[in-house]
Structure 1
């Protein structure tokens, strides 16, 4: 048996390690808010609802960047969720056992690819494909659907959304897979005993029980998409204006910070950028907290699930 001194030392070390993460988060938030406070105190309304970003005139309206962040992330989630859910169902319930692990490995491998590689792929493969083939084919629909109006620039809101969809797919698939595995096997066996097919088992017995956790995985992917910087900045066009179609260049909060932070030469400009960073941090934290709560809600609510 360990000595009482060893127990106390072990408890102290683990306590310090556990407390380090929230302490770092609090310090990070404090530094960002302190640097952003001059702008938040004097121009919070203009920052959140203004559309003009003019550094020489000290006008810092971040609404186009906020809108670009939310729209591109939501479109990415809409594209990635069906694919990720299909992968999760295949690797847990539907696919042959010999293929489940290889498919899971390949999907998880997408998360290990650096974002700059996704950005380069977007610049040299996706953007030319959109500009030369997909956008010209969809432009005639612009007379009916305003989302497809405008010239086919290539770098655009839809290009950023597609890159983001590929980047967040492994995160949503991984969480969804673990949530589906948390559904008791007895529910599947009971449905099979009643004569249900494998798809009916998934549709009627598995998915309803895992609904909250799956939603949590989707929101977690949304949080990942909100903060992506380099790959988005390379393909979105970086135009500070409200996007009026999916083909229009746009801006995001993260790409705004990446493009202008190194060139911020005045305290006012730097404070405005830090205010944008504080807003992005707040949105990301709220999204991730909500996602974690939903994922844990599944495990707690399941029969035999953990209550802590």
Structure 2
């Protein structure tokens, strides 16, 4: 009887903890929605389509920070995912035994660095170096190309959307590469040795054996990094320039939802101003949930396909 009572208490407590997560999420969503409602009802759909942000006239639009959030996260993924894949591949398949642990430890230590340190390094060290040595080269190479040329034009001021995306890439690399390394290491050695015995190269083993076996974990690691990039605040605030408005050039200052909240929340002296900022927070919450939900659906499809292949 005592054991039965203990089992019921344990089951009830774990159920409560599981439901508590949903309760907290629902409470956050409701609180944000109620606080953001004055701005959403006042501006309507124009809040999503307008890039104007004028605290003097109390005219606010979320398009600029939404675009900045998505663009910086995309840049971070375009840079961070290949680098993370290369790091994980080197550690698991190519590095000598004596080098694996030091490299892995160094990568993990990058994740422990506070984001404000990344921001300070990006502002005082990387931004001047980028403006003097990297941006002119990128402008010469890509600035004259059709369609994408305007994205790589602009004055060499050192702060902007591209720099923010680059700093985000450095910040997400430890998370993505660590997960990729861990899932690569669970691939049975017999599968890889069999492929090598048949004459496969290292790249063929990775592409045809390791990646198909670990694709669920790899995608999960990428989504974890994307979630980190979407919500990063302080590092982005230091290097993005914090300018409202849309620009074709990636080298021009911009803003994100999180950087706008960090910069202006303490200055909001009007109820509509505060409500507009909270509406930005609600939009960031919704964007993150939508992207991670699609990621979860993708993982489910990959798991089903993987199960079908094994069957």
Normalised by the size of structure 1, how large is the TM-score? 0.90
Say yes or no: does 1:35 pair with 2:35. Answer: yes
Partner of 2:96: 96
Partner of 1:161: 165
Among candidates 272, 276, 285, match of residue 276 of structure 2: 272
Asked whether the 8 Å contact 1:187–1:205 carries over to 2, the reply is yes
Task: Provide the secondary structure at the position in 2 that maps to 1:208.
Answer: helix
Give the distance between the partners of 1:305 and 1:118, measured in 2 at CA. 43
The count of aligned residue pairs is 306
Asked whether the 8 Å contact 2:216–2:303 carries over to 1, the reply is no
Distance 1:19 1:102, change over 3 A: farther
- How far has the Cα of 1:158 moved from its partner? 1.5
Decide which moves more: 28-37 or 168-177. 168-177
Partner of 1:214: 218
Partner of 2:61: 61
Give the distance between the partners of 2:160 and 2:116, measured in 1 at CA. 17
Distance 1:221 1:207, change over 3 A: same
Structure 1 runs not aligned, ≥5 long:
none
Partner of 1:257: 261
- How far has the Cα of 1:296 moved from its partner? 6.0
- How far has the Cα of 1:18 moved from its partner? 2.1
The 5-angstrom pairing of residues 278-293 of structure 1 reads: 278-293=282-297
Distance 1:92 1:49, change over 3 A: same
Give the distance between the partners of 2:245 and 2:163, measured in 1 at CA. 17
- How far has the Cα of 1:293 moved from its partner? 4.7
Give the distance between the partners of 1:305 and 1:23, measured in 2 at CA. 38
Deviations for 1:120-146, whole angstroms, at most 9, x for unmatched residues? 101111111112222234444434422
Partner of 1:113: 113
Partner of 1:4: 4
Distance 1:133 1:185, change over 3 A: same
Decide which moves more: 149-158 or 212-221. 212-221
Normalised by the size of structure 2, how large is the TM-score? 0.89
Task: Provide the secondary structure at the position in 2 that maps to 1:110.
Answer: helix
Partner of 2:23: 23
- How far has the Cα of 1:300 moved from its partner? 6.0
Give the distance between the partners of 1:50 and 1:5, measured in 2 at CA. 59
The 5-angstrom pairing of residues 43-192 of structure 1 reads: 43-141=43-141, 142-144=143-145, 145-192=149-196
Give the distance between the partners of 1:157 and 1:264, measured in 2 at CA. 25
Task: Provide the secondary structure at the position in 1 that maps to 2:242.
Answer: coil
